[in-house]
Amino acid sequence: MLRWLWRSKQKEVLNLDDCVFCRIIKGDLPCRKVYEDEKVLVFEDLHPVAPVHVLIIPKEHIGSVMDLNVKNAQVLADMHLAAKNIAGKTGLDKEGFRLINNCGEGAGQTVNHLHYHMLGGRKLGAKIL
C-alpha cells in the first residue's frame, strides 16, 4: 500500500515536470497566447485543423476530465467563460464554434493536462466523427 502511494505520488510529480502545458503556463515554453485570466490560459494549437484552433487550459494541473472533483470543477465554468469571451472578440459568437475535449488515450488525448479545443472560422459539419 505504501509503495503504491509512493509510486503514484512520484508519477504525479513526474507528470507535472513533464507536462507540456504546465511548462507553457510557467513560461518555460513559448505559446501564441490569445487570452489569460487568473485561472485559465488560451493559446493557439501548434497543429491547427481550422482557421481558429485554440486550446483552453486551466492553470492548475488537472490530468483529464477523470481528475475532476467537487473542489476543482469550478474551473470548467471558467474555461467556458473564456471560450465565450474569445468568441465575442473574434466574431465566432455569430458564426458558431465547437469545443472538443478528448479524455484518455482511446479518445486521442495526447497531452495529459485537461483542455478544450476551440474550433471555428469554417463550416463545421453536424457530425463530429
Catalytic residue IDs: 115
| Minimum CB distance to ligand AMP smaller for 6 or for 29 | 29
List the one residue from 53, 59, 61, 117 that touches Zn ion (CB under 5 A): 61
Q: How far is CA 20 from the centre of its chain?
A: 11
Q: How far is CA 50 from CA 45, 90, 121, in A?
A: 10, 14, 7
The answer for residues whose C-beta is within 8 angstroms of residue 12's C-beta and 6 or more apart is none
Are 31 and 43 in contact by the 8 Å Cβ rule? The answer is yes
| Sole window of 2-10, 73-81, 101-109, 112-120 interacting with Zn ion (rule: CB under 5 A) | 112-120
> Min. distance of Cβ 82 from Zn ion in angstroms?
17
**Under rule CB under 5 A, residue 115 binds Zn ion:** no
Strands (E), 12-115: 33-36, 40-44, 52-58, 97-100
Q: State the cell numbers at 90.
A: 473574434
> Among 1, 3, 4, 47, which residue sits at the site for ligand AMP (rule: CB under 6 A)?
47
Q: Which of residues 66-125 bind ligand AMP (CB under 6 A)?
A: 102, 108-111
- Of 45 and 93, nearer to ligand AMP (C-beta) is 45
Q: Which positions touch Zn ion (CB under 5 A)?
A: 19, 21-22, 61, 113
